[in-house]
Amino acid sequence: MAKNRNKKKKAGADSMDTTEPTVSDSAQAMDTSEPGASRPAAGGLNRIQKGRPMKRSKNVRKKKALEKAISKTEQSFEKVAKSENKKQRTQSAKQLYD
C-alpha cells in the first residue's frame, strides 16, 4: 500500500466550525495576584532547576554524590573532634604526673 504523506486534503472535506466563541473572545477576569507571593523562600539543597528535566539515573547519581559529600564532611568533623579530645586527655594525664 502506498503512503500518502504529501497529498493535501480536499478543501471541502474537513471544514472548521467557527460558530463557537473562542477563549479570547469571551470575557475573562484579570489575574492581579503577585507572581512571587505564593512561593516559599528558596534556599538549602532543594533548588529548582530551570531547563529540561534531568533523567532519573542522572538525578540519582547527583543525589548520591551530595549525600556522600555531606557524610564525608561529617566524618572529618568527627575526626577533628576526636583528635582534640585525645589531646585534652593526654594533657590532663601529663599534668597529673608532673
Its pTM surpasses 0.85: no
Please state the φ and ψ torsions of residue 64, each to the nearest 5 degrees.
Answer: -65, -40
Total number of domains in the chain: 1
Q: Domain for residue 48, yes or no?
A: no
Sequential pLDDT tens for the chain (98 residues): 566 666 666 555 555 566 665 555 556 676 677 665 555 555 555 666 676 666 788 889 999 999 999 999 999 999 999 999 999 999 999 998 87
Q: Domain for residue 65, yes or no?
A: yes
Residue 76 confidence (pLDDT): 96
Q: Domain for residue 36, yes or no?
A: no
Q: Domain for residue 84, yes or no?
A: yes
Residue 98 confidence (pLDDT): 76
Question: What does the DSSP 8-state code read for residue 5?
Answer: S
Residue 57 confidence (pLDDT): 87
**Rounded Cα–Cα distance for residues 98 and 94 (Å):** 6
Q: Domain for residue 72, yes or no?
A: yes
Please state the φ and ψ torsions of residue 54, each to the nearest 5 degrees.
Answer: -75, 150
Please state the φ and ψ torsions of residue 79, each to the nearest 5 degrees.
Answer: -65, -45
Q: Which residues span the domain enclosing 74?
A: 56-98
Which amino acid type is present at position 68?
K
- Asked whether 62 and 54 are in contact (CB, 8 A), the reply is yes
Q: Domain for residue 97, yes or no?
A: yes
Residue 69 confidence (pLDDT): 95
